[in-house]
Chain A
Amino acid sequence: MWKQIGGREAGQIRPNSFSNRVKSNRVSSLQLSNYKDIVSPHRGSINSLQVDLTEGRYLLSGASDASVAVYDVQRATDYEGDGLIAKHKSIVVVDKQHEQGHKYAVSSAIWYPIDTGLFITGSYDHYVKVWDTNSTQVVMNFKMPGKVYRTAMSSLATSHMLIAAGTEDVQVRLCDIASGAFAHTLSGHRDGIMTVEWSTSSEWVLVTGGCDGAIRFWDIRRAGCFRVLDQSQSQLGRRPPLLERSALNKVSTSKSSSGGQNLSAKSRPQQRKSTNGNGIKQSPIGRIPAKASVRQRLHPGMLSGQDRATAHYGAVTGLKVTDDGMYLLSAGSDSRIRLWDVQSGCNTLVNFETVRLQTSKAIQLATSQDPALVFVPCMTAVKAFDVWSGKTHMAFRGHYEYVNCCWFSSQDQELYTGGSDRKILVWSPSRLISDELVDHLVSVAFYFTFHFNFYLCALKL
């Protein structure tokens, strides 16, 4: 560390690569936090976790007991163990007792992306509610046709305030906070919609995953979906094998070393360019990697051959777009994680070493950029896979029941996980307690007894 600080000081290490290296080191040392503890008030399984996007300070959790809670993850409410263990108690709780509260399980709780004055919850009681954080009053109610599985808002949006909601119903609904009404319904899925996710590169693009195994891309300014991911479409724009080509070149062209083309083969014109990196904006319709059906482009969402494509066998239970906006990760009830190239819509065929995933419930994935990892709830553990190789990088075992959701705070390099055991665990970079060794031992011992006691309490309940 000191060496890297020295390198940064002397201009040998670029500041951004310095911070990436530090982050990467810290992420690699994630473990159950020995200094931070979130005290969950929930009496049901935790279904959703999110830290606000503006300050990275407030964690929002939604649970099956119809409760929602907010914690300040930066500032502890009190300390234990000689000030070494910070306890973060909820600073806001809304539960069934609240007159406007949800009746059944809260499946999704998200922050309004612009500030922490509002948050949005979706519940199995068929409602999506918008809450004022300070007064904990509902400011808006959207009645859905069925259980709400997931809600999402675009973090990029500057020109709309839409909540995308995935429900038992086959249609995706966009709830407009500005007007309090449904702005659109997006039709295409053949079964309930387990998961919704906005693009991180365009505020108009929404990705949804359904129980029908399909992942659909929507440009909400246009009718119909513009892409359905197909797990069997997997060329990923792989350049043709080099040796063949250079051999070919030698035959076809003269000896001059000019035959090579770095760009791409003719068969993939759709991948060649995207103007200013925002090709989707231009005409997403033209981008469907369809080989045959050029003729009937009228309603791409309805293209028969395309439309039946599936991304997973079984339901799509989780979606996550990487922060750079170039890849999409999906989890399915087939216990697979797939990595998709967003631009081409191709399956990259990275083999993630998952063993089993929950099948009955939507799961919330998280990603980190440095190193490129995806955090996946795998039954009672959370596993971190390398995005490019699919290899297991780390496994986080601490929950006693299934893990439903996880959130990675890139600001603090901390991972929050919530499970059916009603607990929210914090996984943080290991911190050396630089004090006298005794202190250290005491604190660790203290922590473990505490943790154990807590679990016993939970069992009794």
Chain B
Amino acid sequence: MSIWNYVVTAHKPTNVTHSCVGNFTAPQELNLIVAKCTRIEIHLLTPQGLQPMLDVPIYGRIATLELFRPHGEAQDFLFIATERYKFCVLQWDAETSELITRAMGDVSDRIGRPTDNGQIGIIDPDCRLIGLHLYDGLFKVIPFDNKGQLKEAFNIRLEELQVLDIKFLYGCSKPTIVVLYQDKDFVEGPWTQNNLDNGADLLIPVPPPLCGVLIIGEETIVYCSANAFKAIPIRPSITKAYGRVDADGSRYLLGDHAGLLHLLVITHEKEKVTGLKIELLGETSIASTISYLDNAVVYIGSSYGDSQLIKLNLQPDAKGSYVEVLERYVNLGPIVDFCVVDLERQGQGQVVTCSGAYKDGSLRIVRNGIGINEQASVELQGIKGMWSLRSSTDDPFDTFLVVSFISETRILAMNLEDELEETEIEGFCSQAQTLFCHDAVYNQLVQVTSSSVRLVSSTTREMRYEWHAPQGYSLNVATANATQVLLATGGGHLVYLEIGDGTLTEVKHEQLEYEISCLDINPIGDNPISSQLAAVGMWTDISVRIFSLPDLNLITKENLGGEIIPRSVLLCAFEGISYLLCALGDGHLLNFLLNMSTGELTDRKKVSLGTQPITLRTFSSKNTTHVFAASDRPTVIYSSNKKLLYSNVNLKEVSHMCPFNSAAFPDSLAIAKEGELTIGTIDDIQKLHIRSIPLGEHARRICHQEQSRTFAICSLKNQSNAEESEMHFIRLLDDQTFDFISTYPLDTFEYGCSILSCSFSDDTNVYYCVGTAYVLPEENEPTKGRILVFIVEDGKLQLIVEKETKGAVYSLNAFNGKLLAAINQKIQLYKWMLRDDGTRELQSECGHHGHILALFVQTRGDFIVVGDLMKSFSLLIYKHEEGAIEERARDYNANWMSAVEILDDDIYLGAENNFNLFTVRKNSEGATDEERGRLEVVGEYHLGEFVNRFRHGSLVMRLPDSDVGQIPTVIFGTVNGVIGVIASLPHEQYVFLEKLQTNLRKVIKGVGGLNHEQWRSFNNEKKTVDAKNFLDGDLIESFLDLNRIRMDEISKAMSVSVEELCKRVEELTRLH
């Protein structure tokens, strides 16, 4: 790998940190706005559910998300503040469906210490000012003027240092805050409330007419206002989120740490509060936000599990729960650990993550591309084409599968036993290759062979009409839909037929100057059974032409350029937008926007899908139309957010595909590949496919063992009834079914800290090694732990060796046939010894001191890279002769590490506490000891995500012949559920992309006017420096979303053609 790295997100953050509800996009529209750390999503509430409107990245980690409505406005504005002290006010532009920045600014201060408990941002209910608590002891105020514009900010001193929560109170003539804080008993304002519950950490201001505030503690809930004080005890719980139900503030939803949802009611007589009531509604994911939408529908945003859309029923269900989950939104966060495996042994990596926490813990299998689940297959060689046909026009299912060979056509059908069986349609010509087949109106079927077009009754299966090709010409290419047939013969003749009841009428005949290579008349207009346009691909001049039907007038001609002829054209529509897709013989695909009324082709884009000719076919899955591109690299083309996306299918090579929706195999595809015909169903169409394995407990570490085909995880389970009683386990899972097949419980207070599958020298067995720590409540630092070595026998974990250590085993690595453990501040190497009695033991060989805590260790050859708790990297070397470990070099920066990985012999990648990535380089050629002893920082970048783990590997199939296949990659997983890829680029490519990134920064403006360069600058308590030797792949790949004008702008600035830019960027998207 190299020092030039490209960082890109393969799976966006899914951890919901904030959410709010209001009329943002229009005065009458109710919107849910969700913040997922570095992204915001705007949804529209419709009777059908939530409809996504916008999903945009924010150049910052969102600290505050609030809707507010300045005086005189009909709809809400959105206030966002980021953790790096930037804020902006956004407004919706209904015309362009974009966000407009109303105001923005910086609220950082030279003085003050950043708050420990997180930043607080609040807006006065009467919209007089915005309050921010960013630094201990300071409360920043941004006032609004009369016109709703923001004025200059100023600070107010807060004497309370340990602030837990601040809220504005309703119904005060002057903006009034209520402060909840630790230590001193003092709440400023019109009244005070002393001696609150110890665990109180949430305030809820109550709107008029009641006013006042609710203080949510761990054991009590208190309502207080100037003239009332009510308290009720609750079952001990930590309330994580609240949502107000009624505008008058008499009912609230409270979500606690165990995922229980309660309803809190303030009972009142007119404006006098008489008491509080609380009722358990049911269980949800552990909520981080609760937004009450409408009609008892509530959005539960979660950081530890899937976010949910729930409905609160009036009557409890059988289990006594009022909660009904309407929809779940996948959340991978927090990804605590993951491993990259190739379970299907296809050469494509899958990521198995330890996701979620507490009861919402789960394993997630994340795979790129779309899987085909094989249902049936037959061996069939030399398939030249396939079509499915129905037995009558209104039959919802396909009955026949027409398979065409070089000199014959065979017909398969489902028999009564639901088996695929060869059958016959008498009217079909079976002694010739079929060029095309289709269902037609009036219960007819169309078959095109090189000599004729036959119309066959689908009920009697007899031929009703035959149209013969003109004498001396044979039909080369054909296409048809329910009412139309378009044929091309040698010599460039284009013939258009219309299908009648038992008749075919030649409507038009046109001679073109060159031979025709492909045709399509897929109906995408208003009429579902006939098309007004025909797409034609040509030999010789390499063009696609659009003809009008039925008169076959040439409307548009688009020269494709190059020397590769189009092999397949397809008219299709996604999300209401019409496209013309044109596949070339070399595996490239061109797509154009097609204007249905004028036939005009615009926005040409070219992507490379494979290296062999592509055949395009539409199919539908879940009522949406997609396109299947069959080639050596089969791909599904679909559209999301009005953008075409390409997702590879997990099959090696597909020559033909046709949808085959039979009663026995609903929603299936028939796929011809490598001498085989397969019927299979297709996964949900999305780029990353995620499968969830709920565990009901929190998995902390995972590793895979190829030999035993198992996963082992370290997990912990919270006992629901007793407090502080956690049980820790080592669990063995089957790698196909993900069932627990064996469990090894750890001792009381013993935590599993690390896990490894490895083998030792002089021993052929493969073992699982587990490092543990005894975490005793009275100890600050574990002083005892164990290394356990297991072997998998008959699907059981058998403990072979147990070795006690003097501290927590934070990391385990296989190292030269030995075991390298990081135990508190020490690196310790263990030999695998055979005792006289034949048993094994771990014998300590040597060690190395001098770390604060050696949390993360990676090895390569004899080198050991240690990521310390707070002292960045150090590089150690194991000396065989002396049997000793020595320090070679160190990075003297004070980085608090969160993950490390070795990129190559000299370059090491680290992630640190302030959401940065950096690389260091070993300097073996240094002139002095000092130089050699220093790891030089070569790359720095602000990722904005807390990385928990790096692993070498790739999410995509590596094709040896593509450029991208040679680029080494590292995958990372973060707290927010991001799966990202870091790719090491060759220098030439890096320089090119860096230039592109610089140009993109000028053209793509960040939401809220936030600056990309500042966002990506490396930032910690000590310094802020520009990113170097890292590129933001998300920004670069957004080039493909730009409209043509902006692309041209960039192309001009770069002096590179748009097509070339698109191609190079498309190539990069193949990395993930």
Interface residues of A (CB under 8 A from B): 1-3, 5-6, 8-12, 14-20, 22, 25, 29, 35, 55-57, 74-75, 83-84, 86, 156, 200-202, 237-239, 242, 246, 249, 255-264, 271-278, 323-326, 343, 369, 388, 411-412, 431-435
Contact between chains at A1 and B853 (CB < 8 Å): yes
Query: CA A70 – CA B805 in complex, angstroms?
Result: 38
A260 contacts across to B, CB distance below 8 A:
172, 174, 176, 188-191
Task: Sort A-B residue pairs by CB-CB distance and give the 3 closest, nearest first.
Answer: A277-B109, A257-B226, A260-B190
User: Is residue B835 within 8 Å, beta carbon to beta carbon, of the partner chain?
Assistant: no
A326-B137 CB under 8 A given contacts A9-B336, A9-B975, A369-B113: yes
Give Cα distance in the complex from A25 to B853, angstroms.
Answer: 14
In the complex, are the beta carbons of B109 and A434 less than 8 A apart?
no
Decide if B825 touches A434 in the complex (CB within 8 Å): yes
Q: Is B161 an interface residue (CB 8 A)?
A: yes
- Give the segment of B442-450, B562-570, B777-785 that binds chain A: B777-785
Q: A364: shortest Cβ distance to chain B, in Å? A: 22
> Judging by beta carbons under 8 Å apart, are B135 and A1 in contact?
no
Find out whether the CB atom of B913 lies under 8 angstroms from the CB atom of A18: yes
Bound CA span A156–B174, Å:
38
Report chain A residues within 8 Å CB of B976.
11
When chains A and B are docked, how far (Å) is the Cα of A11 from the Cα of B698?
13
In the complex with contacts A16-B116, A249-B190, A324-B111, A55-B892 CB distance below 8 A: yes
When the two chains form the complex, which single residue of A16, A276, A388, A435 contacts B826, counting CB atoms closer than 8 Å? A435
Smallest Cβ distance from B513 to chain A, in angstroms?
65
Q: Give the most central of A1, A15, A431: most B CB within 10 Å.
A: A1
Query: Known: A9-B948, A19-B913, A262-B189. Is A201-B781 also a contact (CB below 8 A)?
Result: no
A1 to B946, CA, bound (A): 18
The answer to the question of B192 belonging to the interface, with a C-beta cut-off of 8 Å to chain A, is yes
B154 close to A (CB within 8 Å): yes
- Beta-carbon nearest neighbor of B191 in chain A: A246
Q: Which residue of B lies closest to A277 (CB)?
A: B109
Please name all residues of chain B whose beta carbon is closer than 8 Å to the beta carbon of A275 when the two chains form the complex: 152-154
B116 touches A388 (CB 8 A): no
Contacts of A84 in B (CB 8 A): 849
Binary interface profile of B, 888-931, with partner A (CB < 8 Å = 1, else 0)?
A: 00101110101000000000000001110000000000000000
The reply to whether A2 and B808 contact each other, CB–CB distance below 8 Å, is: yes
Q: Is the interface of A mostly helix, strand, loop or mixed?
A: loop
Known: A257-B211, A432-B807. 16 other contacts (CB 8 A): A5-B810, A8-B898, A9-B334, A74-B892, A200-B111, A257-B226, A258-B190, A260-B188, A276-B154, A277-B112, A277-B155, A325-B111, A343-B157, A432-B824, A434-B807, A435-B826
- Complex CA–CA separation, A131 to B731 (angstroms): 63
- Please give the distance in Å from A186's CB to the nearest CB on chain B: 22
Known: A9-B336, A258-B171, A278-B110. A19 touches B823 (CB 8 A): no
User: Are A201 and B110 touching (Cβ within 8 A)?
Assistant: yes
Residue contact A10 to B157, C-beta cutoff 8 Å: no
User: From residue B412, how far is it (CB to closest CB) to chain A in Å?
Assistant: 53
Tell me whether B808 and A1 are in contact (CB under 8 A): yes
Q: How far is the CA of A433 from the CA of B948 in the complex (A)?
A: 28
Nearest-CB distance from A219 to chain B (Å)? 15
Give the residues in chain A near B893, CB-CB below 8 Å. Answer: 55
CB distance from B407 to the nearest CB of A (A): 64
Q: Which residues of B contact A10 (CB under 8 A)?
A: 304, 334, 336, 357, 698, 975
Instruction: Check B782–A1 contact: CB distance below 8 A.
Output: yes
Residues of chain B contacted by A18 (CB below 8 angstroms): 896, 913
Chain A residues lying within 8 Å of B808, measured Cβ to Cβ, are 1-2
Q: Which of A200, A249, A258 has the most CB of B within 10 A?
A: A258
In the complex, which residues of chain A have a beta carbon less than 8 angstroms from the beta carbon of B948? 9
- Residues of the A chain whose Cβ atoms lie less than 8 Å from the Cβ of B847: 435
A3 to B190, CA, bound (A): 41
User: CB distance A324 to B112 under 8 Å?
Assistant: yes
Known: A16-B913, A25-B780, A434-B825. A276 touches B153 (CB 8 A): yes
Q: Determine the chain B residues whose CB is within 8 A of the CB of A274 once the complex forms.
A: 154-155
Residues of A within 8 A of B15 (CB): 11
Can you name 17 A-B residue pairings with CB atoms under 8 Å? A9-B975, A10-B975, A11-B357, A16-B914, A17-B117, A20-B116, A239-B159, A242-B192, A257-B171, A257-B211, A273-B155, A277-B112, A277-B135, A278-B111, A324-B136, A326-B111, A434-B824
Q: Is the CB of B226 within 8 A of A255?
A: yes
Assess whether A242 is in contact with B155, with CB atoms less than 8 Å apart: no
Interchain CA distance A16-B826 in the complex, whole Å: 25
Say yes or no: A255 contacts B896, CB within 8 Å: no
The proximity string for B residues 102-146 relative to A, scoring 1 for CB distances below 8 Å and 0 otherwise, is 000000011111101110000000000000000111101100000
Write out the residue numbers on chain A whose beta carbons fall within 8 Å of the beta carbon of B169: 257
Asked if B522 CB lies within 8 Å of chain A CBs, one says no
Give the nearest-CB partner of A25 in chain B: B780
Q: Which of B225, B751, B753, B773 contacts A257 (CB 8 A)?
A: B225
Within the complex, what minimum Cβ distance (angstroms) separates A37 from chain B? 14
Are A1 and B975 touching (Cβ within 8 A)?
Answer: no
Q: How far is the CA of A97 from the CA of B559 in the complex (A)?
A: 86
B1012 interface residue (CB < 8 Å to A): no
The residue on A at minimum CB distance from B777 is A3
Q: Which residue of chain A is the closest to B784 with respect to CB atoms? A: A434
Which residues does chain B contribute within 8 Å of A3, judged by CB atoms? 751, 775
Point out the residues of chain A lying under 8 angstroms from B849, CB to CB.
35, 83-84, 433
Q: Which residues of A contact B823 (CB under 8 A)?
A: 434
- In whole angstroms, what is the CA distance A324 to B112 when docked? 4
A103 to B1005, CA, bound (A): 62
Neighbouring B residues of A74 by C-beta, 8 Å: 890, 892
CA distance A343 to B135 in the complex (A): 15
Contact A257 B212 (CB under 8 A): yes
Nearest B-chain residue to A83, judged by Cβ: B849
Partner of B700, one of A6, A29, A86, A263: A6
**Beyond A19-B870, A255-B226, A324-B112, is A11–B174 a contact (Cβ under 8 Å)?**
no
Cα(A273)–Cα(B157), bound, Å: 8
* B225 / chain A contacts, CB cutoff of 8 Å: 257
Decide yes or no: A12 and B806 within 8 Å by CB, A74-B892, A275-B152 being known contacts: no
Q: Considering the chains assembled together, what is the distance between the CA atoms of A237 and B171 in angstroms?
A: 27
A20: chain B residues at CB < 8 Å are 116
Contact of B112 with A325 in the complex, beta carbons under 8 Å: yes
Q: Are A246 and B190 neighbours in the complex by a CB distance under 8 Å?
A: yes
Provide the residues of chain A in CB contact with B114, threshold 8 Å: 16
Q: Which of A6, A15, A200, A272 touches B156 (beta carbons < 8 Å)?
A: A272
Q: Is residue B787 contacting chain A, with contact meaning CB distance below 8 A? A: no
Contact yes or no, B137 A22, CB < 8 A = no
A residues in contact with B807, CB < 8 Å: 432, 434
Within 8 Å CB of A1, what residues of B? 780-782, 808, 853
> How many angstroms between the C-alpha atoms of A65 and B826 in the bound complex?
40
A17 touches B192 (CB 8 A): no
Q: Which of A16, A57, A323 has the most CB of B within 10 A?
A: A16
Residue on A nearest B154 in the bound complex, by CB: A273
Separation of A433 and B807 alpha carbons in the complex (Å): 10
8 Å CB interface, B760-788 against A: 773, 775, 780-783
Check B1033 for interface membership: any CB of A closer than 8 A: no
Q: Which residues of B from 166 to 195 have beta carbons under 8 Å from A?
A: 169, 171-177, 186, 188-192
Contacts of B212 in A (CB 8 A): 257
- Give min CB distance, B893 to chain A, whole Å: 8
- Per-residue CB contact flags for chain B residues 822-865 toward chain A (1 = under 8 Å, else 0) read 01111000000000000000000001011001010000000000
Residues of A within 8 A of B334 (CB): 9-11
Q: Which of B137, B157, B849 has the most CB of A within 10 A?
A: B157
Which B residues are CB-close (under 8 A) to A11?
15, 303, 333-334, 357, 946, 975-976
A5 cross-chain contacts in B, Cβ below 8 A: 810, 855
Any chain A CB within 8 A of the CB of B22? Answer: no
Is B186 a contact of A242 with CB atoms below 8 Å? yes
Establish whether residues A323 and B113, one from each chain, have CB atoms under 8 Å apart when the complex forms.
yes
Task: Tell me the nearest residue of chain B to A236, going by C-beta.
Answer: B159
Point out the residue from B109, B186, B227, B946 that lies within 8 Å of A15, measured CB to CB. Answer: B946
